Amino acid sequence: MGFVGFGCFILSLGVIYYYSRDLPPLSSLEHLQRPAQITLVDAQGEFLTRYGQLHGEPVVVQSLPPHVVQAFLATEDRNFYHHWGVNPVAIIRALIVNLREGSVRQGGSTITQQFAKNVFLTPDRTIKRKMQEMLLALQLEMTYSKDEILAFYLNNVYFGAGTWGISAASERYFEKAPEDLTVGEAAMLAGLLKAPSRYSPSASPDAARERAKVVLAAMVDAGYLKPEDAETITSQRIASVSRRRNPAPYATDFAMAELNEIMPQLKHDIIIHTTIDLAAHQRAQSAIATLTERDTRVADTVQVAMVALESDGAVRLMIGGKDYAESEYNRATHALRQPGSAFKPFVYLAALEDGRRPDDIILDTPVELSDWAPSNYKDKYYGAVPMAEALARSLNAAAIRLQEETGRDRVVAVAKRLGFPGEIDPGAALALGVNEATPLDLAATYLPFANHGVTAEPYIITSIYTEGGKVLYAREEKPGRYVVAEDDLIALNHMLRQTIDDGSGKAAALPGYVAMGKTGTTQESRDAWFAGHAAGVTGVVWLGKDDYSPMRDGWAPVSGSGAPAVLWKDMMVAVLNDRPDLPYTPWEPQPFLPSIFDQFRGLFSRNDAAADPAVPYDMSYEMTAPPPADRPLPRAQASMDDLVADILEEEEAAQTLPEGDELGAFLNGQLSEPQSPEVALPDPGTGG
């Protein structure tokens, strides 16, 4: 018998040695690592959301009410204060079950063992892991007091919903400290540990209350609670707080992507200060919901994307879909769609840089290029119209003709200079916006129109701090590129303003602000846009379906002049929030230029080297700040002004007015400039 006992002792030592060879040291408890927690706040410091696991402040057992500790002991380990880390009776019972099943089905683990498993070991259900769990439990019991072990356990156990530890769980589910938990609330938290997702107080309140009843019964059985007290608590409603939804999920996802570029490796819990306007997001979401209820054409499968940028590129608002819970796909940053007529301002800007003016007359008549003939909405044409009116009406034929007269290469160069993404196909349909861009891309490309002709890179993170207040990152201002000459910008904004005041964008008019913008609708209403700016804010709204199918309700299609313009107005009102408007420089027509330019257009084209579309301006004019008022004009534009000055000098020298000379009469102020008749504008449809 002595020999058998000695053999068992030696065998036990061998087993202990075998399973303890790769045990982690208990000293690692002092350096427990956990994933960094990321908190995001808006531009005003308002809480937005939190990424990563939520870890609360550590507690000590002595600070907790007895009923909180008892709720966990009653369900997890009633003999905790009486065993030495393992419970032999529970282990034998579990061993019998496991041998009968042929695998590990039952644990019999004490709180000490659970803590050892959660902190030091993998969740594998193997004999080796179980043996190591028991060995670690014995080491823990020999090293730490019972209260210390229980505190370790309560501070590191998982309570679901991304929360670890009783402090985090108390705050998450009841918005209070664990010291303030009632008996019922403590029972509900203790009941979570069996299945955190199934018994979540916020996600499954009924199941959580039923589970809390089981815990209360266990507390009665363990002698911690009187039966009548348990019945009273059971009859009371234990209320938990619902999980706070991220009010700007698409924007915070964009911030997380930017964070990865700024700080790929995180070693601390951090607080990210963003440019997001939380109040504007909430108002914009309400506007989307209201429009969806009112307009059946934008219900169900129609998606929405919104972007609003400050003039320095700060992202004030970003919505990438109607419902983040249904689809996390951020259409504002990832959906490449055709902008349709929202591309036309780049065509008109190229024409302005080529010497045209908003009141220049262009023909809006049927045009045919090779084997392709673009058409206006409902095949309606307006003949000779000023450029500004052609843009305001979003006339396709006029835009194509202007594109061909100006040169597609020049249009491509202008769009690329402003920041339009990707390779631009210079095909015949260029002016109609067939090259794709995301809503954020288009907003960034429009931004120079609101920023004195200067580009700005979109950004959403302004600074990053540790929870202790240490600055880890502070964004430095990045100068943009000067890409649009002042005179051309004034002329283009005049045209974009007319689009809202008198053209296809009337629904986007902003009371109290000078607003400028452009509608966009692609073939069969697969995409509908509105892009524009006011008071230094550039905004873009897109509507469409993810499967590219048309947006129609019967015969009524969605166009940029409809729902997108309405939503753009709502978005801009929310973002601007009654801020003062910025000074607006109106374009002043000079009555002599249209007649002179018409007569000399063929003689003085702007095809000199300085106007090469590949290098639209002399590099000396590539500035990083708004240009001073006395900035010299690019050479190509200066040559046209010199031409006009020469003509005026000749006319002044003549001082005579030959009979029938309308040009001379016009120059001498004896004839007034003919005015285009006012015509009620049609719904632009696919033209706008």
Residues with active-site annotation: 76, 341
Alpha-carbon gap, residue 433 to 598, rounded angstroms:
28
3-state SS of 633-675 is CCHHHHHHHHHHHHHHHHHHHHCCCCCCCHHHHHHCCCCCCCC
CA angle 210, 216, 222 (to 5 degrees): 145
Contacts of 349 (CB under 8 A, 6+ apart): 414, 484, 488, 492
Q: How many helices (H) and strands (E) does the chain have?
A: 23, 17
| Closest listed residue to residue 500, CA positions, set 513, 488, 491 | 513
CA distances from 465 to 57, 270, 679 (A): 19, 6, 58
Give the number of residues written for the chain: 688
Give the strand pairing for 54-55 and 537-545: unpaired
Reported in sequence order, the residue ranges of 353-437 that DSSP labels E, i.e. its strands, are 361-364, 383-386
Of the chain, the end-to-end C-alpha distance in Å amounts to 99
DSSP codes joined into one string, 156-194: HSEEETTEESHHHHHHHHHSS-GGG--HHHHHHHHHHTT
Round to whole Å and give the CA distance between 453 and 464: 30
479 burial type by CB count under 10 A (0-12 exposed, 13-18 middle, 19+ buried): exposed
Please report, for residues 94, 102, 114, 134, 576, the alpha-carbon distance to residue 99 in angstroms, rounded to integers and kept in the order given: 9, 5, 21, 18, 70
Nearest to 54 by CA among 169, 153, 152: 169
Do residues 184 and 212 lie in contact, with contact meaning Cβ atoms separated by under 8 Å?
yes
